[in-house]
Amino acid sequence: MTLDAQKVRVAVTGAVYAGPTSSTAPTSAVSAVPAGYNDLGYISEDGVTEAYDEDVQDIQAWQGGAIVRTLISSSKASLSFTMIESKASTLELYHKGSTMEAVSGGYKIDVKLPNVVRKKFILDVLDGSTHLRIYVPDGEVTERGEITYINDETISYNVTITCYPVADVVMTKYSDDAYWGYS
């Protein structure tokens, strides 16, 4: 076994972007973010979590009780993160389906009953000069955490994005680093 410490990656910094379903897809890990995407600003120190939730059913043989096959009956990919910057793109994503307008000295948001608002998402992860980009061509906020207003905590907006398949692709990962090996 060959160990190589230079292949150890850390998500030192990055950004999350959301755009309308009409937005153009990125073309590489380092290409400019296409027009139409909004930077969601600061993300909490917990970063972004990529998760997969799968329901599986094991097929067990009579002979010795051996598992001979496993069926995946459902699979869901998601990205979860907590936005800590209060701005239009953050509030509109969290309060899905709501409208925001500028008013004298600020803005107002009319929080409406949530509805389906699908978007495209880009997650950029940087480790020095090494880049990883995750592109979600069809995603939706399907879980929202509580907003707490308290004098010793940041007002934050926790969301989970469910990633839906588009032509059998749930997300695309671009990298400019052969060690990550994503394509």
Cα distances from 114 to residues 28, 37, 163, in angstroms, run 33, 21, 18
pLDDT at 182 over 70: no
> pLDDT by residue (tens digit) across 55-100?
999 999 999 999 999 999 889 999 999 999 999 899 999 999 888 8
What's the CA angle centered on 78, arms 72 and 80, to 5 degrees?
150
Structure confidence by residue, pLDDT tens digits, 100-146:
888 888 888 888 888 889 999 999 999 999 999 999 999 999 999 99
> pTM for the whole thing?
0.89
Q: Quick one: pLDDT at residue 179? A: 66
What dihedral angle (degrees, nearest 10) is formed by the CA atoms of 39, 42, 46, 49? 0
pLDDT, one tens digit per residue, over 10-37 is 999 999 999 999 999 999 999 999 999 9
Render pLDDT for 36-55 as a digit per residue (tens, 0 to 9).
999 999 999 999 999 999 99
